[in-house]
Homo-oligomer: A and B are copies of this chain.
């Protein structure tokens, strides 16, 4: 257990994938950090007939299956630490769901829990989809793919919640942003 001051605060405990740190100064603040990742990406992938590609997998921290956008870490693969976020998004979409996409647009970024961790997720909107494999994730993952029409999403997700699964609201946030864009109310969103 090191207490050496570093950029990003003092290390309280260094795990293999997550470390617990705290800010230095008069009012220390504890937080979690992923030392081996450069970012996190999530993908709103929509087919030509307006169906959204979702994933389902068991998530140990919450001890439940979770319905999510295809997502994953960027820069966590040895020798690929500097991969651009869009490259990571393309890789994760294909690995998890088997889809490739012609068009990629950034949808913005969000902290997932700004009081708890350093994690910031960058969203992409992927269209022009072609399915090239079954997906399912890498060798350590067991991911189920769901294809749901975007107008059915709220009810479909609610039905899954009633089955005891959790719904990651990043799905809803991405759909809100994509719809805002389609209404052209926020031209500057596409920075």
How long is the Cα–Cα vector from A119 to B112 in the complex, in angstroms?
10
How long is the Cα–Cα vector from A107 to B161 in the complex, in angstroms?
12
| A112 CB to nearest B CB, Å | 4
**In residues 113-156 of chain A, which contact B (Cβ within 8 Å)?**
113-120, 123, 140, 151, 154-155
Identity of the chain B residue whose Cβ is nearest the Cβ of A187 in the assembled complex = B155
Q: Beyond A18-B31, A185-B151, is A169–B114 a contact (Cβ under 8 Å)? A: no
Cβ-defined partner of A112 (8 Å) among B113, B118, B186: B113
A residues sitting closer than 8 Å to B (CB atoms) are 1, 12-13, 15-20, 22-23, 27, 29-34, 59-62, 66, 68, 108-120, 123, 140, 151, 154-155, 158-159, 161-162, 166-177, 180, 185-186, 188-189, 191
Copy tally for this chain in the complex stands at 2
The reply to whether A59 and B111 form a contact with Cβ atoms under 8 Å apart is yes
| Residues of chain B within 8 A of A13, CB atoms compared | 1, 12-13, 20
How long is the Cα–Cα vector from A116 to B158 in the complex, in angstroms?
23
Q: Beyond A30-B15, A113-B112, A114-B61, is A191–B162 a contact (Cβ under 8 Å)? A: yes
A-B contact pairs, 20 of them (CB 8 A): A16-B30, A17-B30, A19-B20, A31-B60, A32-B61, A61-B111, A61-B117, A62-B111, A66-B111, A108-B158, A108-B167, A109-B166, A114-B166, A114-B168, A117-B117, A154-B186, A158-B191, A169-B173, A170-B173, A173-B176
How long is the Cα–Cα vector from A174 to B13 in the complex, in angstroms?
35
How long is the Cα–Cα vector from A33 to B32 in the complex, in angstroms?
10
How long is the Cα–Cα vector from A29 to B60 in the complex, in angstroms?
7
The reply to whether B61 and A154 form a contact with Cβ atoms under 8 Å apart is no
How long is the Cα–Cα vector from A140 to B60 in the complex, in angstroms?
33
The reply to whether A110 and B168 form a contact with Cβ atoms under 8 Å apart is yes
How long is the Cα–Cα vector from A161 to B151 in the complex, in angstroms?
29
The reply to whether A118 and B167 form a contact with Cβ atoms under 8 Å apart is no
